[in-house]
Amino acid sequence: MNYTLARNATAAAVVVCGTLALLAAIVAVAGYAPGPALEALWRGSFGSWYSFTSATLVRATPLIIVGIATTLAFRAGVFNIGGEGQLLVGASLAAFVVLGVPAGAWSVPLGLGAGAIGGAVWAAIPAVMRHRFGVLEVITTLMLNAVAIQLVGWLVHGPLQEPTHVYPQSATIASPAQLPIIASGTRMHAGVALALLLAAGAWWFATQTAAGFRWRAVGANPHAAAVTGRIDVARTVFIVFVASGALAGLAGAVEVQGVALALYESLSPGYGYTAIAVALLARLDPRAVVPSALLFAALEAGAGAMQRDAGVPSVLVKIVEAALILVVLAFDARQRRRLAVAVVA
Amino acid sequence: MMEALTLFLEATARTAVPLAFAALGECVAERGGVINLGVEGAIIGGAFGSLIGASWFGLAGGVIAAAVCGGIIGALFAVFVVRLRANQIIAGTAMTLLALGLTGTLYRASYGTTGAALDIPTLPVISIPVLSDIPIVGRAAFAQPITTYLLVVLVALTAWWLHRTHAGLALRACGEAPIAARAAGVRVQRLRAGALVYAGVTAGLGGGVLVLAQTGTFAEGMSAGRGFVAIAIVVLGRWSPVGTVLAACLFGAASALQVFFQASGANAPYQLFLALPYLLTLLALAGFAGRTRSPAALGLALDD
Amino acid sequence: MRDTAPAIVLRGITKRFGAVAALAGADVVVERGTVHALLGENGAGKTTLMRIAFGLVAPDEGTIERNGRALRLRTPLDAIAAGIGMVHQHFSLVPAMTVAENIALGGRGAFSTRDAVERVRRASVAAGLDVDPTALAADLSVSMQQRVEILKAFAHGATLLILDEPTAVLPPRDARALLSQLRDFARAGGAVVLITHKLREALSAADDVTVLRRGATVFHARVTDATEDRLVEALVGARAAPVQSTHGTPRGAPVLRAEGVGVEIDGVVRLTEASVSAHSGEIVGIASVEGNGERELLRVLVGTQPIARGSVERPARVAFIPEDRHRDALVDEFSLTENLALGDAARRRGRMAWRSLGAEAQRVMSAFDVRASAPSVLAATLSGGNQQRFVIGRALRDEPQAIVAENPSRGLDVRATAFVHDALRAARNRGSAVVVYSSDIDELVELCDRVIVCFAGRVREVPATAAAIGQALVGAAS
């Protein structure tokens, strides 16, 4: 986290230009005209106030929040790839609570709190399994993602199904439980502001507080953290895991209360997985999670417009996303080799 | 009742075979110490490859193309995690994204934006005389497309290779203690790369089965999370090729049961059946089903 | 192949790691039928040289000849094919595999457990090394693991065996048996390179001896032509012989005290009835052959090892200087400021005062001669000596009442070692209680006011002389 602003800005510019160039190239190779495709992409993502707020920012919100969850976890050496499941369970619990409790002024924080608790509980399972049985969290969180999808499926076909029992979704949540729209005429809800606050808070926490320092130390070298820092590594890992789950669960609640306004199966188009890419592109820096999430959200928002207006398949942006990740990985590998030389010296 | 049971077993096999293909290779990769989240990508790559191969060169071409496409994705993954020592989880996720994007784009670019269904003939069912007439299990086990028999052969070969050759022993050592393996003269990086290509090939074949032996067509994202199921299967199968097949059958049975319940209109939470295999896997990992231990170096790059 | 050609010749070997020259023109000639001792202090380049001979490290310059023929080693596989076997200091067995599987590792073609077990059984009889082929490597004792390593080398057809400090981990009786087995192997036409820093061992077990200092060969002779004095001179160069250090301040009150401490880890007793005290103003040395409870004792004193019995009195501030710098003391990708803050990370609350921590890091850097451009540079970019000076400086900066140091000069050159010793003495003179564990007896004699020996989980104070420590280390009654 010791990059200078100028270097960050340069890096961001290089990433954005590179992404656009790559996208144009792939569009051309696939046999479409790059000009109209990029234009549509722009229109759908940043081209208008409406598309920026209602498409890009709204999509970026869960990516920012889960991206932070992933960043904090990975930094602490917790490979929580269960963001998707934790988000879904958080969304479910939030929906369950706000639908079950009479709506009032407290409904919004109640739902958000329930979401965080749901995500935390879902993350506590792999955390306990890592602590007690030494099971790799990569495997367990992956399993729990699958279980969470079935859980949502069961809820919206069963106990939480809307009163007419026709559609596989819950009833619409009452307006007091909905996150307020913060820009009239758009779909931009208060969750967007919450996500930005969380990103700033996460950065402050990781770099400026003693607890955040301990999290980073545990991730960077658990042996030194235990021996030199006298940190209780197992306990720290558990806390990080649960906190990361709580954030992802909160993102689920924000989706339910800000965008979806009900629980249904396709609530998340893989936000939990995309957030891993977001965190990686941000080099696990909470501040950089915001532009990184915006980039991914803009790509996905623009992709829809690209398909609609220019006939370019939206799935094409997945190639770009993958290429972005791979470039970062290759870049990291080069840096690591340099560092390795320095270590030996 | 007998007929229903036969249908149930057939449905089980239909779900289990592609999963078992993918899990078989994943099992080898994980025994070598690499967790491959790109298996989903290799499945979809194989599925698309088989479509192209079959429409150009016939069914045999389809099977080969599935294997080759899966293998290429496995090889690319190997470049990142073995050669560049990239984080396996992130590189695997990227592989899956890449393959989903590429196949979706190429499919739409080659077959039109509507994604009009196109049909290719499916692999014929080969009934083994006498055996396929056994009541209840006969049809499910012995009246199958050639790919199912190929799976049986591959499982046997893989199990033999893993446990009865020095190369297999060396690969298992790579998954347990790569530094020790290297000191004993094992070419850790090369073996791991080989295992990953093999994992890609079998996952590709799994995707090929979906197209060539089952649906006769391709659909975007038709891998539908099977790669992640395969990773669960490997755990439940306790990292052994034969166990992997049994676990795949369990997943297949759960999915067949779910379809039955849904079709019968019974008011049972069928999602429970779909979640059950994962829950079993978690229980197994927690030690409720004897000792289930992952390879000690799983997920770690070889640092030197 | 000529019969008289040496088993291996390494000539003019140089190897640099970044800016540091690990080897600068090292030559070794190992004749067939001999045990060859390769002597040198910590960091002299012995292990690097032998890793080159085994194909694990590529030399920058120099040639290798095996039985009179030029040899190019790209990987350990090439070395194994050339009949070279190496037993590493830290054993490299696969814990989850059996002895037979471990020995079969690296082979080709079909593998059968039964054949592998049978082969190991035969090989162990032939070599006179008794092992159970079906035992899991994870369950083996240290000396048993070493036997397996040696059998592994034999199974791969090794006629030249390189052993890195093989006796360091063995109880004395096993060490003697091992050395005599190695001599037998050499008499039967093999060749052995024994990497060691123990003079006596070299003089008693070897036929030839080569001494490395700072990466270069400085002495080479038949053992019969070498005397202890000449070897010492070659080993340490112009360094003065160790002198007993003098008390800077009178010994004060006990600061750190363990009474009747017992430690068990996974049901194995590691420490029994251990009573140790360190007073203000003294340096207490701990001597031990690795694995005799010294590790646990140090951690009991520091407070990171739970105890089963007994009691420990500890002051508020106990600084710990762990042996493995990279693993336990530093976070490579943290800046020096962050590494300074790591020192008592568990006790910090609220916000991190980065500004004052940075200033503090700067102070440590100038007080302890840590050469780095700023406190914001990553720890990974410092040289080993600078890293260790920083680690020591961090431990000593707030004048802790007690300091526990574990092999604090491991891997450091003479100058850096002297710096570490001076720093510890200065802390003692300020009134700290200092406990130092070292695997080097000379270092203990030179540095410590009192010496305690750990043997088989029990502790005992001995006179601070090399002879007394040496005897107690091997469990001899005084």
pLDDT in tens, A168-220: 999 999 999 999 998 888 889 999 999 999 999 999 999 999 999 999 999 99
The pLDDT, as a whole number, for residue B75 is 97
Which of A223, A225, A343 lies nearest to residue C345, judging by beta carbons?
A225
Q: How far is C49 from C21, CA to CA, in rounded Å?
A: 12
Structure tokens at C434: 């200092």
Closest chain A residue to the Cα of C353, Cα to Cα: A208
The pLDDT, as a whole number, for residue B110 is 81
Q: Do A144 and B282 touch (CB under 8 A)?
A: yes
Q: Do C332 and A220 touch (CB under 8 A)?
A: yes
The pLDDT, as a whole number, for residue C364 is 93
Distance set, CA C361 to CA A208, A211, A229, C379, C409 (Å): 17, 20, 16, 12, 22
- Taking CB atoms and an 8 Å cutoff, what residues of chain C touch A232? 346
- Taking CB atoms and an 8 Å cutoff, what residues of chain A touch C320? 227-228
The pLDDT, as a whole number, for residue C295 is 87
B229 touches chain A (CB under 8 A): yes
Interface of C with B (CB under 8 A): 56, 75-77, 80, 86, 88, 92-97, 101-102, 104-112, 152, 156
- Taking CB atoms and an 8 Å cutoff, what residues of chain C touch B169? 97, 101, 104-105, 107, 111
Cβ neighbours, 10 Å, residue A200: 13
- Taking CB atoms and an 8 Å cutoff, what residues of chain A touch C326? 343
| pLDDT tens readout for residues B121-169 | 788 888 888 777 787 777 777 778 889 999 999 999 999 999 999 999 9
A197 touches chain B (CB under 8 A): no
User: What are the pLDDT tens digits along chain B (304 aa)?
Assistant: 677 888 888 889 999 999 999 999 999 999 999 999 999 999 999 999 999 999 888 889 999 999 999 999 999 999 999 999 888 988 998 999 999 999 999 888 887 755 545 677 788 888 888 777 787 777 777 778 889 999 999 999 999 999 999 999 999 999 999 988 988 888 899 999 999 999 999 999 999 999 999 888 888 889 888 998 899 899 889 899 999 999 999 989 988 888 877 777 666 678 888 888 888 888 888 876 555 678 888 877 655 4
The pLDDT, as a whole number, for residue C20 is 67
Minimal Cα–Cα distance from A311 to chain B, Å?
Answer: 7
Q: Do C345 and A209 touch (CB under 8 A)?
A: no
The stretch A153-168 carries a mean pLDDT of 90
Sign for the pseudo-dihedral over CA of B155, B157, B162, B163? positive
Which of A210, A223, A342 lies nearest to residue C327, judging by beta carbons?
A223
- Taking CB atoms and an 8 Å cutoff, what residues of chain C touch B164? 110-112
Which of A135, A325, A336 lies nearest to residue B90, judging by beta carbons?
A325
The pLDDT, as a whole number, for residue C474 is 60
Minimal Cα–Cα distance from C305 to chain A, Å?
Answer: 10
The pLDDT, as a whole number, for residue C3 is 66
Summarize chain B as % helix, strand, coil (round to 5).
75, 5, 25
Give partners of B (≥3 CB pairs < 8 A).
Answer: A, C
Which of A208, A228, A345 lies nearest to residue C342, judging by beta carbons?
A228
Q: Do C20 and A343 touch (CB under 8 A)?
A: no
Minimal Cα–Cα distance from A76 to chain B, Å?
Answer: 15
Q: Do C109 and B170 touch (CB under 8 A)?
A: no
- Taking CB atoms and an 8 Å cutoff, what residues of chain C touch B172? 97
Q: How far is C428 from C424, CA to CA, in rounded Å?
A: 6
- Taking CB atoms and an 8 Å cutoff, what residues of chain C touch B238? none
ipTM surpasses 0.90: no
Sign for the pseudo-dihedral over CA of A16, A17, A22, A23? positive
Q: Do B173 and C97 touch (CB under 8 A)?
A: yes
Structure tokens at A258: 């800000």
Which of C18, C346, C381 lies nearest to residue A231, judging by beta carbons?
C346
B257 touches chain A (CB under 8 A): no
- Taking CB atoms and an 8 Å cutoff, what residues of chain C touch B171? none
Interface of B with C (CB under 8 A): 163-170, 172-173, 176-177, 179-187, 296
- Taking CB atoms and an 8 Å cutoff, what residues of chain B touch C51? none
Interface test with C, best of B160, B163, B169, B294 (most C CBs within 10 A): B169
Q: How far is A39 from C71, CA to CA, in rounded Å?
A: 63
Percentage of chain B lying above the pLDDT 90 cut: 51
Q: Quick one: which of B177, B175, B294, B224 has its CA closest to A138?
A: B294
Closest chain B residue to the Cα of C116, Cα to Cα: B166
Which of C77, C88, C104 lies nearest to residue B169, judging by beta carbons?
C104
The pLDDT, as a whole number, for residue C236 is 66
Angle of helix B166-176 versus helix B2-31 axis, rounded to 10: 80
Which of B85, B274, B299 lies nearest to residue A136, judging by beta carbons?
B299
Three-state SS string across chain A, please?
A: CCCCHHHHHHHHHHHHHHHHHHHHHHHHHCCCCHHHHHHHHHHHHCCCHHHHHHHHHHHHHHHHHHHHHHHHHHHCCCCCCCHHHHHHHHHHHHHHHHHHCCCCCCHHHHHHHHHHHHHHHHHHHHHHHHHHHCCCHHHHHHHHHHHHHHHHHHHHHCCCECCCCCCCEECCCCHHHCCCECCCCCCCEHHHHHHHHHHHHHHHHHHHEHHHHHHHHHHHCHHHHHHCCCCCHHHHHHHHHHHHHHHHHHHHHHHHHHHHCCCECCCCCCHHHHHHHHHHHCCCCHHHHHHHHHHHHHHHHHHHHHHHHHCCCCCHHHHHHHHHHHHHHHHHHHHHHHHHHHHHC
In chain A, residues 3-32 whose CB comes closer than 8 Å to chain C: none
A142 touches chain B (CB under 8 A): yes
Interface test with A, best of B271, B302, B303 (most A CBs within 10 A): B271
A25 touches chain B (CB under 8 A): no
Q: Do C328 and A224 touch (CB under 8 A)?
A: yes
> Which regions of chain C are under pLDDT 70?
1-3, 18-20, 41-43, 169, 171, 236-250, 290, 411, 413-414, 474-478
Which of C326, C338, C381 lies nearest to residue A342, judging by beta carbons?
C381
Question: How many CA atoms are closer than 13 Å to the CA of A65, on its beta-carbon side?
Answer: 33
User: In this structure, which amino acid lies at residue A284?
Assistant: L
| pLDDT tens readout for residues B191-229 | 999 999 999 999 999 999 999 998 888 888 898 889 988
Cβ neighbours, 10 Å, residue C25: 14
The pLDDT, as a whole number, for residue B1 is 65
What is the 8-class DSSP label of residue A53?
I
The stretch A60-88 carries a mean pLDDT of 95
A232 touches chain C (CB under 8 A): yes
The pLDDT, as a whole number, for residue A343 is 39
